[in-house]
Structure 1
Amino acid sequence: MQAEYQGSINPDRMSYEQLTRLQETNGSVSKELSEKLLSRLPSHKYKPVSLKGKGKSIDKDEECPICKMEYNNGYMLITLPCRHQ
């Protein structure tokens, strides 16, 4: 199996050992945003949707469709540019 094709790296064609060596060569990369960048994103306090029916009001917490984290009343949500909260 050849990992490189005309000077480019194709991870789909690399073995586990080749991927490990590549990671060791390149080092690790942080995938987290800095506090400074996070502070620039819009945020708001989550308030559950109120369902009304037959004289009763029920607060329904929602769930993120991507990470499946449940939003609870009062949580601070940060909105990413892709609109993920």
Structure 2
Amino acid sequence: MAEPDWQPPPLPRRLTDPVRPVLVGVAVWVVVLIVLALAGGPGPWLWAAVVGIGLGGIGLGVLTLQRRANARGSKGAQKL
């Protein structure tokens, strides 16, 4: 018996776009950084917040590069 050619509908863009969760994560780390900076001196959590913000920035940069490559039609570009 042949399998049907039915495909599920694609997910809405708001569920597949990774930019919003990354921005929310960076915003949370910024709030943590501000609270920790106001509460006292440097500590491991303060540095964790700084690293979290930096990694979020790197993630946004990677997403931007992927979208540019996809827009150019690059063969190895990840489809978002």
Q: Which has the larger radius of gyration?
A: 1
> Of the two structures, which has the highest relative contact order with CA contacts closer than 8 Å and spacing of 6 or more?
2
Structure with the bigger percentage of strand: 1
Smaller-chain TM-score bracket = under 0.3
